[in-house]
A and B are shown apart, each in its own frame.
Chain A
């Protein structure tokens, strides 16, 4: 009953999306402008209905209704509650429904509260949003109905891949979806603005919270994904420039650029076409990334995830949405005025520079990721890996970070170099001192890590400069957000550079009782024995590690074996100190009965992820500040309207 209800509600929501699109499109013509009144309520209702459908699916999963095909195929009655819940979106159909739910809820929310935009632009935005969600509705209802019943209820569910039963992996994908959906709302705003040619500060202010929200989730998703790769892969690497990683990085780069160009547009009414363009590009990158991963077009490692129909489907959506949006952009961009100009030496210029560099990195990541595909089409196989991405992205990233240190203290429109002499001098001196120290004490160090170690402290100091001379209590929250986010970048950069420069590796064949020196640690293999987990068995090593002769800490690296489906996984053990991490892995047993152990001492490596978390926190502060201000304004507007109404009587 719940399943049928869910399906019925989903159909109704889809019908409302059609209405939203048609009424919205018609309302833009003067002859049928009276239809405009329909669009907002329809958008809100559509959001509410699809949320009910998703709630129905969650209910089916929580109650393990095995007469529903999707539940039977992906769940199990004996699973812990949290994984039953995560099972809802841990499959193709459920994740699609989740995507369209978040998207329609966001659309309903826009319809409910957005009052700054000109009405026509908002109507066009909501129509665009309905257009995007219709693609997903079509796929859900016509090709992959999540509520499909089995002819006979299954006796028991097939369960969830044990690897998926990791609390991190259960919530990693939805984090990315939320980011992608946020960018789809920004995309709809861009479409709406292009349709009505109304690109201005109001548009930027309306779009900004959505971009910020998406960006926070993307930041969290990438940071967490990198950490999981780090501890699960068992070789101490944290970023491999693998196509899957690149696919998640590209939307983040575009969203970061969009966030900054939004600021320029909101504050200065400049960079109009550019911001609209980025709004389209950011969502394109989420779709492109999803497609590249989904279709398995890039690496045969992922070939088992390939489903030609779904790859084709995403490609078709991509072609329609992005192709259509870019066509509209080509037709309309020349009629959108470019907006206010600014001096070469100004806040705007620094933000433009940031945008150009971010887009440069985005460009090379995209080109580098697709290049093997291009040469393959010409019959030549090449690999593009870290030796390309690291230096080439640094060519863009290093100047960007230098400008990033100064940009926030520049004035809008036009500034004079003399005014900020010391704001430039202090970070520059800090960086120079750091470079000198690195070269004198630790040489030889590769160029890129050395530059990173030099730039990071300067950038860290510089990131706090916007607070200097301000009344800290009256400083708006978004300023704090920017400070924290920029500081987070410096922290992450320091972690990356330190990992690159100072990591120590120790591979050793050890008998129980043997000791090894790993950086400042003395590690001793004490024992190796079998251990059983809920759905795995493992060999577990007991390793004691003492830092510079201090009290030993016990670590337990494992080699796990899963039975269903079969597979092995190394479970590395990490010892985190304030100044770095010891990483221990248990390998195989050698010929002579000794065990292959792998150890790394990675100074300051956790700062990579602390930095990422700080960046997300900065985004959150900015978002809170913006939303609080918007709410205040909304309340004020309502009061004025109320007063006017009373006076009118």
Chain B
């Protein structure tokens, strides 16, 4: 049996575990008390709206095509919604308020039936100029939206300038108006 040999390891190595543990603690404390935003935001901000042409989702509004966003150089809102989505009902008054202030809002109805959209618009109001019917979430995927409702600010050249995730609350309206104004410059 060989004799135990006194250790000659450098002092630094024995502190390595404590160092790693301290790094772990810093990481989780930051993650726990200053958590990052959990929303998955679109990486497509600043890029032109991909080409699409959706059929109408409602009897009294036309469908929605990309060309609309370039026709008059005016910034618009693109609202991704669905009749089956509860927060969409909550944000309806805010959309109505925006429409009343002259903001042009176009809608994309995700995985929705015409009769359901009609019922939704009847009950909660119709702030939309056009409503496209997106049965396969194709437009949603193409612009990097990961849920309903989401609202995008599109400038007059058809570039996506801003994304609002979740329902628009009363207090969000000024920010959205500002983003629209910025997009209009």
On A, residues with C-beta under 8 Å from B are 269, 273, 277, 280-281, 284, 288, 291-292, 295, 297, 300, 303, 308, 311-312, 315, 318-319, 322-323, 326-327, 329-330, 333-334, 336-342, 370, 373-374, 376-377, 379, 381, 413
B90 within 8 A of A: no
How far is the CB of B11 from the nearest CB of chain A, in Å? Answer: 6
Q: A269-B4, A340-B3, A341-B5 are in contact. Are A326 and B17 (CB under 8 A)?
A: yes
- B7 engages A337 (CB within 8 Å): yes
Residues of A near B24 (CB, < 8 A) are: 288, 370
**In the assembled complex, which residues on chain B have CB atoms less than 8 Å from the CB atom of A329?**
14, 17-18
Report yes or no: B31 in contact with A339, Cβ–Cβ below 8 A. Answer: no
Given contacts A297-B32, A300-B38, A322-B21, contact A377 B27 (CB under 8 A): yes
* Cβ contact within 8 Å between A323 and B4: no
Which single residue of chain A is at the shortest CB-CB distance from B18? A326
A308 to chain B, nearest CB (A): 8
Is A377 touching B36 in the complex (CB atoms < 8 A)? Answer: yes
CB-based contact A334/B25 at 8 Å: no
A-chain residues with CB within 8 Å of residue B6 when the two chains form the complex: 337-338
Between-chain CB contacts (< 8 Å), 12 pairs:
A284-B21, A292-B28, A323-B22, A327-B18, A329-B18, A334-B14, A339-B5, A340-B3, A340-B5, A370-B24, A374-B27, A376-B36
- A-B contacts besides A300-B38, A340-B4, 13 pairs, CB < 8 Å: A277-B17, A312-B32, A323-B21, A326-B17, A326-B18, A330-B18, A337-B5, A338-B7, A339-B4, A340-B5, A370-B24, A376-B31, A379-B36
B28 contact from A291, A327, A336, A340, Cβ within 8 A: A291
B9 contacts across to A, CB distance below 8 A: 334, 338
Q: Contact: B18 with A338, CB < 8 Å?
A: no
B interface residues, Cβ below 8 angstroms from A: 1-7, 9, 11, 14-15, 17-18, 21-22, 24-25, 27-32, 35-36, 38, 40
Task: Assess whether B7 is in contact with A340, with CB atoms less than 8 Å apart.
Answer: no
- Inter-chain contact A338/B4, CB cutoff 8 Å: yes
Specify which chain B residues have a CB less than 8 angstroms from the CB of A340 in the assembled complex.
1-5
Residue of A nearest to B3 (CB): A340
Complex CA gap A329/B15 in Å reads: 8
A contact residues around B38 at 8 Å (CB): 300, 303
Q: Say yes or no: A315-B29 contact (C-beta < 8 A), given A330-B15, A334-B11.
A: yes
Complex interface: chain A residues within 8 A of B30 (CB): 377
- Within the complex, the shortest CB–CB distance from A325 to chain B, in Å, comes to 9
| A336 x B7 contact (CB < 8 A) | yes
B interface, by DSSP: helix, strand, loop or mixed? helix
Whether B14 lies near A333 (C-beta < 8 A) is yes
| B32 neighbours in A (Cβ, 8 Å) | 295, 297, 308, 311-312, 315
With a CB–CB cut-off of 8 A, which chain B residues contact A280?
Answer: 17
Bound CA span A116–B9, Å = 29
Q: Closest A-chain residue to B30, C-beta based?
A: A377
For the complex of A and B, list the 8 residue pairs with the smallest distance between their C-beta atoms, beginning with the closest.
A376-B36, A326-B18, A333-B14, A338-B7, A300-B38, A330-B15, A337-B4, A373-B31
What's the minimum C-beta distance from A603 to chain B, rounded to whole angstroms? 35
Chain B residue at smallest Cβ distance from A331: B14
**By the criterion CB–CB under 8 Å, are B25 and A323 in contact?**
yes
Q: Report Cα–Cα, A349/B31, bound state, in Å.
A: 40
A297 near B25 (CB under 8 angstroms)? Answer: no
Out of A269, A291, A292, A326, name the residue touching B21 (CB < 8 Å). Answer: A326
Distance in Å from the Cβ of B36 to the closest Cβ of chain A?
Answer: 4
Please give the distance in Å from B140's CB to the nearest CB on chain A: 18
Residue in chain B with minimal CB distance to A381: B40
Contacts of A337 in B (CB 8 A): 4-7
Q: Which chain A positions have C-beta within 8 A of B11?
A: 334
Cα separation A337 to B40 with both chains bound (whole Å): 52
Residue of B nearest to A200 (CB): B4
A334 touches B31 (CB 8 A): no
Name the distance in Å between B3's Cβ and chain A's nearest Cβ: 7
Contacts of B3 in A (CB 8 A): 340
**Which residues of chain A are near B18, meaning CB under 8 Å?**
323, 326-327, 329-330
Residue from A277, A288, A297, A318 within 8 A of B31 (CB atoms)? A297
Q: List chain A residues, Cβ under 8 A from B40.
A: 381
Given the known interface contacts A311-B32, A319-B25, A373-B27, the answer about A334 and B7 at a Cβ–Cβ threshold of 8 Å is: yes
Complex interface: chain A residues within 8 A of B27 (CB): 370, 373-374, 377
Q: What's the nearest-Cβ distance from chain A to residue B131, in Å?
A: 23
A315, B3: Cα distance in complex, Å: 42
Task: Tell me if A297 and B21 are in contact (CB < 8 A).
Answer: no
Chain B nearest Cβ from A343, distance in angstroms: 10
Q: Is the CB of B14 within 8 A of A315?
A: no
Residues of A contacting B28 in the complex (Cβ-Cβ under 8 angstroms): 291-292, 295, 297, 315, 373
Closest partner residue, chain A, to B2 (CB atom): A340
**CA distance in complex: A269, B36 (Å):** 48
Note all chain B residues with C-beta closer than 8 A to A376: 31, 36
Asked whether, in the complex, the Cβ of A338 is within 8 Å of the Cβ of B21, the reply is no
- In the complex, A339→B15 CA distance in Å? 20
Assembled-state Cα–Cα distance A280/B18 (Å) = 11
CB distance from A305 to the nearest CB of B (A): 14
Q: Which residues of B contact A288 (CB under 8 A)?
A: 24
A285 shortest CB reach to chain B, Å: 11
- Shortest distance in angstroms between A352's beta carbon and chain B's nearest beta carbon? 15
Distance between Cα atoms of A341 and B14 in the complex (Å)? 19
- Assembled-state Cα–Cα distance A373/B24 (Å): 11
Interface pair B14/A330, CB less than 8 Å apart: yes
Q: B21 contacts which chain A residues (CB < 8 A)?
A: 284, 322-323, 326
Per the bound structure, the CA–CA distance linking A323 and B19 in Å amounts to 10
Bound CA–CA A405/B31 (angstroms)? 42
- Whether A341 touches B2, Cβ cut-off 8 Å, given contacts A319-B25, A323-B21, A323-B25, is yes
* Docked pose: A376 CA to B31 CA in angstroms: 8
In the bound assembly, the distance between CA atoms of A273 and B5 in angstroms comes to 13
Assembly CA distance A241 to B157 (angstroms): 44
Within the complex, the shortest CB–CB distance from A195 to chain B, in Å, comes to: 16
Partner of A338, one of B5, B25, B29, B31: B5
Give the Cβ gap from B152 to chain A, nearest Cβ, in Å: 19
Inter-chain contact A413/B15, CB cutoff 8 Å: no
A340–B32 CA distance with the chains assembled, in angstroms: 44
CA distance A339 to B9 in the complex (A): 13
Most chain B CB neighbours (cut-off 10 Å) among A292, A319, A330, A379? A330
Nearest Cβ on chain A to B26's Cβ, whole angstroms: 9
A303: chain B residues at CB < 8 Å are: 38
**Chain B proximity of A307: nearest CB distance (Å):** 12
Q: Which residues of B contact A333 (CB under 8 A)?
A: 14
Question: For residue B14, which residues in chain A have a CB less than 8 angstroms away from its CB?
Answer: 273, 329-330, 333-334
Q: Hey, which chain B residues are within 8 Å of A269, CB to CB?
A: 1, 4
B114 CB to closest chain A CB (Å) equals 15
Nearest CB to that of B8 among chain A residues?
A: A338
Does the CB pair B17–A281 fall under 8 Å?
yes
Contacts of A277 in B (CB 8 A): 17
CB contacts (< 8 Å) of A336 on chain B: these are 7
B101 to chain A, nearest CB (A): 33
Measured between beta carbons, the chain B residues less than 8 angstroms from A308 are 32
Q: Residues of A contacting B2 with CB < 8 Å?
A: 340-342, 413
**How distant is the Cα of A318 from the Cα of B27 in the complex, in angstroms?**
14
A288-B24, A323-B25, A327-B18 given; A377·B4 CB < 8 A: no
Taking CB atoms, residues of chain B closer than 8 Å to A370 are 24, 27
Write the nearest CB–CB distance from B30 to chain A, whole angstroms.
Answer: 5
User: Across the interface, do B7 and A377 meet the contact criterion of CB distance under 8 Å?
Assistant: no
Chain B residues within an 8 Å CB radius of A339: 4-5
